[in-house]
Structure 1
Amino acid sequence: MSDLLLALALACIQGLTEFLPVSSSAHLLFPSLLFGAKDFGLVFDIAVHAGTLAAVVFYFKDDILKLLE
């Protein structure tokens, strides 16, 4: 599997499991173990969590702006 496809798959897994009451970080490790793919490391984990943060801020932007007034 190419690195780009694996990164896309892991990002989708992260997005789908982030708000479940289980560790979404562990879900990023399982495909690497199951398929023998390389681990992208800490920088990739931080990047996908930053994407989650950006999505949450975008979704709640109106509420955040009201709180800051």
Structure 2
Amino acid sequence: HDDVKTAAAAYHSGWGTVDKILENPEYSEDGQTLHTFPYKQMALYVQKIDNAYKRYQKIYSNTETRYN
């Protein structure tokens, strides 16, 4: 899965759990990406990871990489 939130949910709860959740249209419209999370602890973990991911993107998007 390419979506950070879905991948974080899978890391937290396991791919088997997330694959089952992805089958439910209440949580996934396309069967590939979670748009909401059924468990509070999963949602909190995903939010924590998503916030960190956004901070890292902001930090490293302003940094030039130079190869010598």
TM-score for the superposition, normalised by structure 2? 0.38
Question: Which structure: greater helix fraction?
Answer: 1
